[in-house]
């Protein structure tokens, strides 16, 4: 994510800003220029869901990607959080130059539904990403994370994972190279799902996969890797925009511990060399606040090979 400023007073303003806290200018996010501008044409979701998109046609490009949503007042806050995460996702996809074609044209769409009124399964099918809005409730999400023994679970993470399934079908052309890294995606998904939830990930999964869930099926391995790539790229862009750098402590017999995101090269090796020292510092800062690691992942050589495959696609 880039650092944004108010176009009137040039003070910092967050990506989600509706108004500048310094000069009181009403702000909107212009999706064409991807900058904050004075509000002219509010999105139809501005009042109810807090969308700050500029929308000359009534709805901003991000909100137009929502195909169905729960209208229940009880989940309005959760819907707002889901839409906010989607805006961040769409911003990242556009920044990376990935194709974002609407479901109306056979492309990408989102269904944000409420499982308290009818069964909902978070997932992807034919370009449509379904999210159970229960995932936008922090208590439910944390209970699920602990139950499934996951290191990480967020709404934005869900959307990044599911959009990985979408781009699996859109971007991958060399299936032989894909299978050499992730496995044969034609294997029974139903059998893999049952096996995973009955037995869990195999022992030693961390040596070859970015998460335990990635071991379930090649499709899930690709989606988890794709989501992780988006984590990496978005966080590095944020660090670069804010001028964050890490000089590193003095440590003997260790790889370089310095990170200067603003100088990071575009090749994967350069990104990783910048990324890892930054995560060491972020984890140390989190622990100083009494929290667990902000970045609870291990990038082994096989995982790096998979990330390189995704990087080449992007």
* pLDDT given at position 239: 97
3-state secondary structure of 51: coil
Inter-residue contact 191 to 273 (CB < 8 Å): no
Say yes or no to pLDDT of 265 above 70: yes
**Between residues 266 and 91, the one the model is more confident about:** 91
- The residues spanned by each domain of the chain are 1-59, 62-154, 172-314
- Chain position carrying tokens 């590095």: 236
As a whole number of angstroms, the distance between CA 31 and CA 52 comes to 10
When pLDDT is averaged across residues 195-204 and rounded to a whole number, the result is: 94
3-state SS of the chain: helix, strand, coil percent to 5? 50, 10, 40
Q: Which two tokens stand for residue 197?
A: 């939830």
* pLDDT given at position 252: 61
- Per-residue pLDDT tens for 27-78? 999 999 999 999 999 999 999 999 999 999 899 999 999 999 999 999 999 9
When pLDDT is averaged across residues 207-232 and rounded to a whole number, the result is: 97
Q: Do the bridges between strand 12-13 and strand 109-113 make them parallel or antiparallel, or are there none, so unpaired?
A: unpaired
As a whole number of angstroms, the distance between CA 61 and CA 148 comes to 35
As a whole number of angstroms, the distance between CA 39 and CA 8 comes to 11
As a whole number of angstroms, the distance between CA 114 and CA 203 comes to 35
3-state secondary structure of 252: coil
CB-side neighbour CA atoms (13 Å) of 75: 20
* Residue 15: burial class (beta carbons within 10 Å; 0-12, 13-18, 19+): middle
- Chain position carrying tokens 């080449």: 312
Helix (H) or strand (E) holding 13: strand 12-13
When pLDDT is averaged across residues 195-219 and rounded to a whole number, the result is: 96
As a whole number of angstroms, the distance between CA 283 and CA 295 comes to 6
Q: What percent of the chain has pLDDT over 70?
A: 99
Average pLDDT, the chain: 96
Nearest to 193 by CA among 161, 220, 162: 220
The separation between CA 16 and the C-alpha centre of its own chain, rounded to angstroms, equals: 16
* Residue 178: burial class (beta carbons within 10 Å; 0-12, 13-18, 19+): buried
Q: Which two tokens stand for residue 264?
A: 């990071």
* pLDDT given at position 289: 97
Helix ranges (H only) for the chain are 46-49, 76-95, 138-147, 155-171, 175-182, 189-199, 218-241, 268-288, 301-313
Neighbouring-strand partners of residue 4: 13
Say yes or no to pLDDT of 291 above 70: yes
As a whole number of angstroms, the distance between CA 123 and CA 162 comes to 6
When pLDDT is averaged across residues 165-170 and rounded to a whole number, the result is: 98
* pLDDT given at position 248: 87
Q: Do the bridges between strand 66-69 and strand 109-113 make them parallel or antiparallel, or are there none, so unpaired?
A: parallel
Where do the DSSP E strands lie in 15-126?
27-30, 35-38, 66-69, 109-113, 123-125
Nearest to 220 by CA among 175, 243, 189: 189
Q: Which two tokens stand for residue 147?
A: 């139950």
Inter-residue contact 133 to 79 (CB < 8 Å): yes
* pLDDT given at position 101: 96
Inter-residue contact 25 to 9 (CB < 8 Å): yes
* pLDDT given at position 116: 87
Least confident of 25-39, 68-82, 174-188, 243-257: 243-257
* pLDDT given at position 253: 65
- Per-residue pLDDT tens for 77-135? 999 999 999 999 999 999 999 999 999 999 999 999 999 889 999 999 999 999 999 99
Say yes or no to pLDDT of 255 above 80: no
């Amino acid at each position: 994510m880039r650092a944004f400023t108010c176009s009137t007073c040039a003070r910092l303003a967050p990506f989600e800003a509706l108004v500048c806290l310094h000069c009181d200018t009403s702000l909107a996010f212009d999706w064409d220029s991807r900058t904050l501008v004075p509000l002219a044409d509010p999105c139809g979701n501005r009042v109810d869901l807090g969308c700050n998109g500029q929308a000359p046609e009534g709805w901003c490009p991000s909100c137009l990607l929502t195909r169905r949503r729960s209208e229940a007042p009880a989940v309005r806050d959760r819907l707002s959080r889901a839409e906010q995460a989607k805006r961040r996702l769409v911003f990242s996809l556009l920044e990376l130059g990935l194709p974002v074609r609407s479901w109306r044209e056979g492309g990408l769409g989102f269904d944000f539904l409420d499982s308290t009124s009818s069964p909902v399964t978070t997932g992807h099918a034919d370009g449509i990403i379904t999210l159970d809005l229960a995932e936008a409730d922090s208590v439910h999400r944390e209970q699920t994370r602990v139950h499934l023994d996951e290191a990480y679970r967020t709404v934005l993470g869900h959307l990044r994972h599911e959009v990985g399934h979408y781009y699996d079908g859109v971007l991958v052309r060399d299936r032989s190279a894909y299978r050499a890294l992730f496995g044969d995606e034609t294997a029974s998904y139903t059998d893999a799902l049952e096996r995973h939830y009955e037995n869990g990930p195999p022992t030693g999964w961390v040596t070859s996969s970015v998460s335990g869930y990635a071991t379930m099926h090649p499709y899930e391995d690709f989606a988890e890797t794709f989501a992780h790539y988006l984590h990496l790229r978005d966080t590095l862009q944020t660090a670069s925009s804010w001028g964050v750098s890490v000089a590193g402590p003095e440590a003997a017999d260790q790889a370089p511990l310095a990170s200067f995101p603003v100088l990071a090269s575009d090749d994967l090796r350069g990104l990783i060399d910048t990324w890892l020292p930054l995560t060491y510092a972020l984890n140390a800062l989190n622990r100083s606040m009494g929290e667990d690691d902000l970045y609870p992942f291990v990038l082994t050589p096989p995982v790096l090979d998979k990330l390189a495959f995704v990087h080449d696609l992007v």
